[in-house]
Structure 1
Amino acid sequence: MKSRFFTGAAVVAVAALALTGCTASADESDSAGGALKIDVPDLPTHEKIGDFEDSLDIVAWSGFVEPAWSDDFTKETGCTVNRRVAGTSDEMVQLMRTGDYDLVTASGDASLRLIAGGDVAPLNLDLVPNFGDDIVEGMKGQIYDTINGKSYGVPIGRGANILQYNSEVVTEEPTSWSVAWEPDSPYAGQIIAYDAPIYIADAAVYLMAHEPDLGIKNPYALDKEQLAAAIDLLKQQNKIVSEYWADPAAQITSFAGGNTVVGTSWEILRKLTEDEKFKSVLPEEGSTGWSDAWMLSAESDSPNCAYAWMDYTSAPEVNGQIAMGFGMAPANAAFCDLNDEAKAHCDYFNATDEEYFKKVWFWTTPIEQCIDGRTDVQCTNFQEWTDAWLTVKG
């Protein structure tokens, strides 16, 4: 299991983004879907596949580029795949800005930074035949990688940040995140929370349901007052949290060792504890989540290999291998029909259940222009979130 999304203080602010219009849905049923219009560098798209280059350099999460499928790709194309594993979204952004890499497996908390910085190019999806009808609808045209009507990402997989609990202690299935947020929680002192600025969005999701007068419509579009309310809630939670997790192995150890009985998790972490007493639920308020996509460097010197790789890894068999290897819902739904093992994996991770994922707000980089459509206020950006997060734990 990889360490990922653990954003530290060295965050590149995206204050330079200028919003010209936005149709991001403010309704939870549409979650983070929509089309974002912002001023970004005008970069060309690749027009056609030419001769393959000799090599392909990829920045990836651990488990996304493995010999099991990259060796076959090299045999088919002659493109030698060179992988650089990154542990955080910040590291990925920094590495892509060197111009030394062709592709990156970007998450939503990095995508807008890369797009706005001119680090990644818009894609010609006609050159990715496997990006077709079998790609789940909930991963197409999303606000975190589709800008001004142009796609910058080829989906890989997605997952929700769910509520995990020890059913021997938490004997009734929780229906609300309140067991992890409220000071009178019966599990105070045995609660685990995520350790990253993007976790502010989890507090915002809870406030959307329990303090509607704050007017939060999208957990990644917080004005200064709304951000302050989220930070107050996080500071309140801090008093009942036993520990914060950044390393997935530490989260598993905390649950398995009994130090933690309830808190934020990923589906795969609950599965990796290998004990039936650990269960999980997507609470009634909904949750945050993550969605990863291949993004092409604007300075790639191997665009033909890169497009071939994006197409190759979008095929149901390979996309499914990546999803099973990491532990997430695949982007290509056709994988779910390949065999019983594939179906079981898809069922476990709710791969084709769009009603489930409509309750999930996928990570999106906070920017000063409010992505919920408001134009009468200025929202807070990722640097402000990072600065605020540093005050939560004291």
Structure 2
Amino acid sequence: MCTGLVVTLSACSAEDAPGGKAEPLKTVGAAEGALNLLSLPGYVEEGFEDRSVDWVKPFEERSGCQVNVRTVGTAQDVYERMSGGDFYDGALVPSEAFGRLVAADGLAPVNTRLLPSYKSLDARLRGLVKQGDETYGVPAAWGANLLLFETGQAQPASWGAVFDPGESKPHHKRIVWRDGPHAIASAALYLKHRKRSLKIRDPYALTTGQLDEVVSLLREQRPNVLSVWKDGIQSIEAFAAGDAVVGMGGLHELDVLARGGRPIAVAAPKEGVTGWYAAWGINPRVRHPNCMYQWLDWVSTPEVQKQVAEWRGVSPADSRACGLLRPGFCTAYHVGDRAYIDGLVFPRIPDEECEKDSECADWSDWTEAWSSLG
């Protein structure tokens, strides 16, 4: 039997919890003194790279929770560690892994009533981390996977300029892709309109047959691509040098290039645009639940949202941060732009029908398919 804490979500193992699932915390009690986090780069900063960029030490001082963080590079890393039994109290989970973690019981429900800042986060993002009546995460940031182009070129009207070997022929070897599953989703969005016989409904929920068709298109196009970028700086450098004239990018890349005077703009592809988000989630085997809930509320405050937005070059989940950010930031990043964010196609938690369908491509299928492209 698990004892010793006045909270419901505690340091019990999955075997201690009925059905292997933890219950949400009911009250926040005394801090346990430690907090073990898993994160992508730039979301848990304590002044190592820049002394002025530190939202960890202030949290430790006010909460009494000593933060220990392991930084990993990809969504796949987060997925494997959170679903593999590693004892992190929580993780910053990218959207492409979030839904699959929920489906695999790799995230615990969150009692948002214990988080005063939660209700101020963007409503669309809050909806994306819910399944039924349960909330499984706290949105931290978001962005869009944009079609960027050099204004001296003809403005593309379709994602075919990036993914279709025929349509992209005028700028072969001057195309850049974003690394990872988001490229698959954007290409699926293109094929949803270009090849309707595939019957793609959701570019983030593909059957194995649909995934094969998308990967076949990407494989055919891959030799025509200049580079596949993991870090936005690679995309910025390619466009700034004039090596790239069209490709995938984000609001950060566009903002940096525009402020640097580069003639780069955003196209409006007729197929639409996919989006991404990152959200903090709780490990069902959380060892320090009181510290974890204090962290969830801390990173949702406008002050921390502002720091993350500036440091990472992302859109904050809370528009209240706009009052603290530099003039023009929120306009450039579409913060609070209801029509813009509602128009994006985001990853979502897979529905039960997809999960029970043997033809529904799972996370391992996506990652294996992307890795096969080289």
Task: Report the identity percentage.
Answer: 31
* Structure 1: unaligned runs, 5 residues or longer: 1-39
Q: Per-residue deviation at 1:176?
A: 2.4
CA distance in 2, matches of 1:384, 1:94: 14
Which of 353, 356, 379 is equivalent to 2:360? 379
1:361-376 to structure 2, matched below 5 A, reads 361-364=345-348, 369-370=353-354
Q: Per-residue deviation at 1:314?
A: 0.8
Aligned to 1:308: 294
2:328 is paired with a residue whose SS is helix
CA distance in 2, matches of 1:377, 1:47: 37
Q: Per-residue deviation at 1:198?
A: 4.2
Aligned to 1:66: 45
1:112 maps to amino acid: G
2:160 maps to amino acid: S
1:304 is paired with a residue whose SS is helix
Q: Deviations over 1:302-323 (max 9, x none)?
A: 1111111111111122112212
Which of 248, 255, 270 is equivalent to 1:284? 270
Aligned to 2:98: 111
* Structure 2: unaligned runs, 5 residues or longer: 1-18, 47-53
2:163 is the alignment partner of 1:176: no
Conserved in 2, the CA contact under 8 Å of 1:367 and 1:381? no
Count residues with an aligned counterpart: 344
2:80 is the alignment partner of 1:88: no
1:325 is paired with a residue whose SS is helix
Aligned to 1:34: none
CA distance in 1, matches of 2:187, 2:78: 26
1:370 is paired with a residue whose SS is helix
Which of 177, 190, 193 is equivalent to 2:177? 193
2:147 is the alignment partner of 1:163: yes
Between 301-310 and 76-85, the greater mean CA deviation after superposition: 76-85
Which of 66, 87, 90 is equivalent to 1:100? 87
Aligned to 1:5: none
Q: Per-residue deviation at 1:270?
A: 2.9
Q: Deviations over 1:83-119 (max 9, x none)?
A: 2211111222333334332121101222233323333
Aligned to 1:127: 114
Q: Per-residue deviation at 1:52?
A: 0.9
Q: Deviations over 1:117-155 (max 9, x none)?
A: 3332111011111111x211110121xx32242111011
CA RMSD of aligned residues (A): 2.5
Aligned to 2:8: none
2:289 is the alignment partner of 1:296: no
Conserved in 2, the CA contact under 8 Å of 1:192 and 1:244? yes
CA distance in 2, matches of 1:180, 1:264: 8
CA distance in 2, matches of 1:92, 1:387: 16
Which of 206, 209, 216 is equivalent to 1:225? 209
Q: Per-residue deviation at 1:239?
A: 4.2
1:84 is paired with a residue whose SS is strand
> 1:41/1:311 Cα in 2 relative to 1: closer, same or farther (>3 Å)?
same
Between 78-87 and 248-257, the greater mean CA deviation after superposition: 248-257
2:69 is the alignment partner of 1:54: no
> 1:95/1:377 Cα in 2 relative to 1: closer, same or farther (>3 Å)?
closer
Conserved in 1, the CA contact under 8 Å of 2:22 and 2:285? no
2:65 is the alignment partner of 1:79: yes
1:253-268 to structure 2, matched below 5 A, reads 253-268=237-252
CA distance in 2, matches of 1:316, 1:207: 39
Q: Deviations over 1:192-228 (max 9, x none)?
A: 1233244221111011222233221100222233223
Give the TM-score taking structure 1 as reference length: 0.80
Aligned to 1:335: 321
Q: Per-residue deviation at 1:279?
A: 2.5
Conserved in 1, the CA contact under 8 Å of 2:207 and 2:359? yes
